[in-house]
Amino acid sequence: MTLKKAKTDRVVAALRKIQQTVRTAGQKSADEVVRTQRVSGTSGPTARYVTFDAAARDAVGRAAALLAADERFEHMKQPAEAVWDLARRVAVDPASDLVAEFVAEHERPVLALRCFVPVEHLVTRQRWRADGMEFLPVGDGEVPDPGGWFRLDEPIGTVAVADVIGTSLERMAHRARERVSAALTVVRLALLAGQLGVADEQLRFRVGEAYAFGDGITGWRRRDDVASNLDVGPDLGAVLAARPVGGLLDSNRQDIAAAARLAAGWLDRAAFAADPLVDVLFSFFALEAILGRKSDRLKGDSLAVRRMTLDHDRTGGFGHPNRLWLLYDEVRSAAVHGSRPSDVDERDAHQFRHDVAIAIEQVLQFAVAHGLTRRDRLLDALDAHPDLPRLADWLIANGGADWQPYIDGLPGSSTADPATSATDEDGSSC
């Protein structure tokens, strides 16, 4: 077991920024207060409170993110709450330097360990390496003996070894599993490119659920694509009756219904995706099947504004289009055009998938309400919605001037390009 020490400057600098921000905040108006905390040890009628403004909130957010990404502090269960507690103590005692005390309390020596990760459905006869990772037969002398969560029976046929550092065994194991999974992707690609006649079923080797460290510590992580029973009870009929999407899909609006069915199929794949990134990509394919055109020049803008307009027409409200546009630009577009997409967590993926499901239902309802049977006419109706000028004004005021080129190109705008109104029957876009 080797101990390593990491750099401290970025975390310490972020913590000192909090200390400085809280010390110099001064008196705040009610509109400036974004968080209130009770002073420890006070309660009831004599309780004391400290308040924080947006600058303090932003400084806390930056510091918490750095703590979570730093191996010395990754063991902290709730880094954001710990940093807020530091801010509270600084507000109560601004004269004291509390950063060194915080670091001494939470910093731990960084461990360097070997993590053994079983691989399912890949049988190894001798040691080999791929993508910087070492793979061992299950009977290799370096592989820990089975015990606890760590097992070597079928379908385990290989054990990968990853050297990892950190202070949280759970997160260290997670990083090891991610590295092994990435190496298996390289192996799978080589087999596919090598035209070795390998059956598809033989390419589905994957990381197992257990792991072990060299000192006998074992653990287990449930696979992301596991399914759980849903007991619908007596309420499913009422839920389906309240959401008439099934009847609309079977309506005589065949073109729109076909697009909605295609979108529902993509959404199905999203629900089964274990990776939140894949979940979001499939959800975008679903959204583009109902609200996208091949001819859209500003594809992210088009999707976001049509989604806003559709939601406004059906509910009178809408989510901020900037969120959808950023997700398109930083995730969908980046992923399919060779860039590294932004990180997506399960909550982001679930919320986006939920909104796309609502959009599919709203498209069908919009078609019925406006007597539309063709998808291209539905998109024309959204692009020329009578409330769109008012929505566009709101978008420029609240979303930024970057929306102006798209707004100027809408049908009816004095600078509109006729090509932006071209029709297309395919729900896909690039």
Q: From first to last of its 430 residues, what are the pLDDT tens digits of the chain?
A: 434 444 458 999 999 999 999 999 877 777 788 888 888 878 888 888 888 999 999 999 999 999 999 999 999 999 999 999 999 999 999 999 999 999 999 999 999 999 999 999 999 999 999 988 999 999 999 999 998 889 999 999 999 999 999 999 999 999 999 999 999 999 998 888 776 678 878 888 999 999 999 777 999 888 777 777 776 666 666 666 666 665 555 555 578 888 988 998 898 899 888 889 999 999 999 999 999 999 998 999 999 999 999 999 999 999 999 999 999 999 999 998 888 999 899 899 999 999 998 999 899 899 989 989 899 999 999 999 999 999 999 999 999 888 998 888 876 554 344 333 333 333 333 3
Residue 366 contacts residue 313 (beta carbons within 8 Å): yes
Residues 277 and 356 in one domain: yes
Please give the sequence-ordered ranges of beta strands (E in DSSP) within 170-225, or none if there are none: 206-207, 210-213, 218-220
Kindly state the tokens that stand for 312. Answer: 């406004």
Residues 279 and 404 in one domain: yes
Position 145: which residue type? Answer: D
**What pLDDT was estimated at residue 250?**
56
Q: Is residue 430 part of a domain?
A: no
At residue 87, the 3 state secondary structure works out as: helix
Model pTM?
0.67
Q: How many domains does the chain have?
A: 3
Gyration radius from the chain CA atoms = 27
Q: Is residue 267 part of a domain?
A: yes
Residues 292 and 401 in one domain: yes
Position 401: which residue type? Answer: A
To which residue do tokens 């053994």 refer?
Answer: 116
**What pLDDT was estimated at residue 234?**
67
**What pLDDT was estimated at residue 245?**
62
Q: Is residue 303 part of a domain?
A: yes
Residues 183 and 274 in one domain: no
**What pLDDT was estimated at residue 79?**
95
Residues 81 and 11 in one domain: yes
> What is the tens place of the pLDDT at every residue in 125-140?
999 999 889 999 999 9
Residues 371 and 399 in one domain: yes
The residue out of 106, 134, 153 marking a domain boundary is: 106
Q: Is residue 210 part of a domain?
A: yes
Residues 151 and 281 in one domain: no
Closest CA to 91 of 141, 18, 160: 18
**What pLDDT was estimated at residue 254?**
75
The residue out of 220, 253, 274 marking a domain boundary is: 220
**What pLDDT was estimated at residue 40?**
80
Q: Is residue 226 part of a domain?
A: no
**What pLDDT was estimated at residue 236?**
64
Residues 310 and 167 in one domain: no
Residue 144 contacts residue 116 (beta carbons within 8 Å): yes
* Cis bond upstream, residue 155 (ω within 30): yes
Residues 202 and 244 in one domain: no
**What pLDDT was estimated at residue 407?**
86
Q: Is residue 428 part of a domain?
A: no
Residues 74 and 212 in one domain: no
Please give the sequence-ordered ranges of beta strands (E in DSSP) within 228-307, or none if there are none: none
Contacts of range 207-210, beta carbons closer than 8 Å, 24 or more positions apart: 207/117, 207/118, 207/119, 207/120, 207/160, 207/177, 207/180, 207/181, 208/117, 208/118, 208/119, 208/120, 208/156, 209/149, 210/118, 210/149, 210/150, 210/151
Q: Is residue 377 part of a domain?
A: yes
Residue 184 contacts residue 206 (beta carbons within 8 Å): yes
The parent domain of residue 193 ranges over 110-220
**What pLDDT was estimated at residue 196?**
65
> What is the tens place of the pLDDT at every residue in 2-46?
344 444 589 999 999 999 999 998 777 777 888 888 888 788 888
Q: What are phi and psi of 404, to 5 degrees?
A: -60, -45
**What pLDDT was estimated at residue 191?**
85
Residues 189 and 324 in one domain: no
Residues 77 and 189 in one domain: no
Residue 3 neighbours by CB distance under 10 Å: 10
Q: Is residue 227 part of a domain?
A: no
**What pLDDT was estimated at residue 252?**
52
